[in-house]
Chain A
Amino acid sequence: MIHQYKLNDYNIVLDVNSGSVHVVDEVAYDIIAAYETTPRAEIVAQMMAKYGDREDVNKAEIEQCIDDVEALRDAGKLFAEDKFRDVAVNFKANNTCIKALCLHIAHTCNLNCSYCFASQGKYHGDRALMSFETGKRALDFLVENSEGRRNLEVDFFGGEPLMNWEVVKQLVAYARSIEEAAGKNFRFTLTTNGVLVDDDVIDFCNREMHNVVLSLDGRREVHDRFRVDYAGKGSYDNIVPKFKRFVESRGGQGYYMRGTYTHHNTDFTNDIFHMADLGFDQLSMEPVVCAPDDPSALTEEDLPILFEQYELLAREMIRRKKEGKGFTFYHYMIDLTHGPCIYKRVAGCGSGSEYFAVTPWGELYPCHQFVGDERYSMGNIWDGVKNEALRDEFRKCNVYSKPECADCWARLWCAGGCAANAYHATGSITGTYAYGCELFKKRMECAIMIQVAEAEEGGALSDGAACGDGCSDCGDCTDCH
């Protein structure tokens, strides 16, 4: 399977099953489009009819191009077969380890954002803070169930985690005290709305948090539409100076300035550019997750506008990078040479199999987006996963278990997408959230186009890109092996 598209004056051909990316001229673009369904002589005739008046096009040239297409096919870089179903599906199905937890350290919040999927941090339940003892047991549970894995991810989430800050610090200290003997490496992430950020939070996070996710929706009027306190006062003026101080002191460590866009700001690139203009350079902007009848929900009519926005964003990112004012956007951060292996691309999200959310009371859910839905209560950190049938459903949830993914060119970039989104849209974790699929595919087209533009800028389109920093020595790319 291939996918062809034109964007920013590039003709791009993706080979789905090999992961190959080709940049072609319009003649080759049309030849490739016709190749699988049209006899060679007919392709030549069609191309001559369409391009024969061009100086660089003649029958021999077209024949040569078809030969090149066939050489790529023979090399497994074009029209490659899907040989992964059997080898990769079992990888997830047979996995028994747990390697990541989302600790719901506080089911309460100091903001009152009406669009919050977690119902202002309460997850449709009672307000609560996780105790140190519960959190400590969660970390022990993670160590006990992660045999064979070194990197353990723990996310402090809410509600607003800083409303239970002392426990966060105690849990990090506890994890550091046990990780060496256990042969583990804890990677912590804190997600915060910024209201309670102070020097203590900044210093501690810069020492201990692998990543911090800072919630900012963009322009003041956009941010303050939803992100208000219980008196209805917007939080922008309070948090932006704190976030600036936080990021400036982070010393290059990871962070995301993360926003949510809704039906009310479909021109969300202006919010991303606003963040960039504030000096933030690691950005994320997500479509709102809410019920379809919510006034904030994105509509079918919004979709073409959003497509244009993602394209505009990609072009602007290229321009700003050339000017030395570049920034990253979460969904455009792809690494073509050292990205995920085929196992990851088939297995997708580990929710409900190797990743769980832990409530303040120690209950286990497949991920933070299932918390509060009793049908998805899977056990607890003292007794372990009790609902093995449900865990098995998640283990078997992969890109091949979703019928709608079979014909999708983006399936090995997406891996079937978010189980929670699928469940909320269709009632099944093996369904697909069609609206999200459309956005994902547009983002992938843009992300790959940026890679093409950067390869062209670096003279690496035909000569081969050099391995950059962060090479994982996977042995699979053509750069260094």
Chain B
Amino acid sequence: MKRIQTINTRDLAKSVKNGGCGECQTSCQSACKTSCGVANQKCENKNAKK
């Protein structure tokens, strides 16, 4: 596309099927301690494709 470039991102709709393992960090506890967004948390799902 000439005027639109897209960065690869995780497909949130697909993650309905593959996500939800619950192994990722649960809060701000190991970091800022005063706020919690989830944008910078890492996915820890090791079994999504199995």
Write the residues of chain A forming the contact surface with B, with a CB cutoff of 8 angstroms: 13, 17-25, 27-28, 61, 64-65, 68-69, 71-72, 76-77, 80, 83-84, 87-88, 91, 95, 97, 99-100, 102, 117, 148-151, 153, 155, 157, 187, 189, 191, 210-211, 213, 256, 258, 260, 284, 286-287, 289, 330-345, 348-351, 354-355, 367-369, 412-415, 417-419, 421, 436, 440, 444, 447, 451-452, 455, 460-462, 464-465, 470, 472-479
Q: Is the CB of A24 within 8 A of B37?
A: no
A65 surroundings in chain B (CB, below 8 A): 1-4
A287 surroundings in chain B (CB, below 8 A): 34-35
Q: Is the CB of B40 within 8 A of A349?
A: no
Contact mask for chain B residues 18-44; partner A; CB cutoff 8 A; 1 contact, 0 none: 111011111111111111111111111
A148 surroundings in chain B (CB, below 8 A): 22
Q: How far is the CA of A97 from the CA of B20 in the complex (A)?
A: 14
Q: Is the CB of B20 within 8 A of A91?
A: yes
Q: How far is the CA of A421 from the CA of B20 in the complex (A)?
A: 26
Q: How far is the CA of A350 from the CA of B29 in the complex (A)?
A: 10
| Chain B residues with a Cβ closer than 8 Å to the other chain, count | 46
Given A17-B12, A18-B12, A18-B13, also A99-B42 (CB < 8 A): no
Closest residue of B by beta carbon distance from A101:
B29
Given A117-B34, A418-B34, A476-B10, also A153-B39 (CB < 8 A): no
Interface of chain B, main secondary structure: loop
Q: Is the CB of A23 within 8 A of B5?
A: yes
Q: Is the CB of A476 within 8 A of B42?
A: no
Q: How far is the CB of B19 from chain A (nearest CB, A)?
A: 3
Q: Is the CB of B9 within 8 A of A340?
A: no
Q: Is the CB of B7 within 8 A of A339?
A: no
Closest residue of B by beta carbon distance from A185:
B23
Q: Is the CB of A341 within 8 A of B26?
A: no
Q: Is the CB of A470 within 8 A of B42?
A: yes
B3 surroundings in chain A (CB, below 8 A): 24-25, 27-28, 65, 68
Closest residue of B by beta carbon distance from A347:
B38
Given A343-B20, A478-B8, also A334-B39 (CB < 8 A): yes
Q: Is the CB of A339 within 8 A of B33?
A: no
Closest residue of B by beta carbon distance from A479:
B8
Q: Is the CB of A354 within 8 A of B26?
A: yes
Q: Is the CB of A475 within 8 A of B41?
A: no
Q: Is the CB of A338 within 8 A of B7?
A: no
A452 surroundings in chain B (CB, below 8 A): 7
Q: Is the CB of B5 within 8 A of A22?
A: yes
Option from B12, B28, B42 in Cβ contact (under 8 Å) with A349 = B28
Q: Is the CB of A213 within 8 A of B48?
A: no
Q: List 16 A-B contacts (CB under 8 A).
A: A18-B9, A88-B16, A117-B34, A189-B29, A213-B31, A256-B31, A256-B32, A258-B32, A340-B19, A341-B18, A341-B45, A344-B43, A412-B12, A474-B15, A476-B18, A477-B9
Q: How far is the CB of A384 from chain B (nearest CB, A)?
A: 18
Q: Is the CB of B5 within 8 A of A462?
A: yes
A17 surroundings in chain B (CB, below 8 A): 12
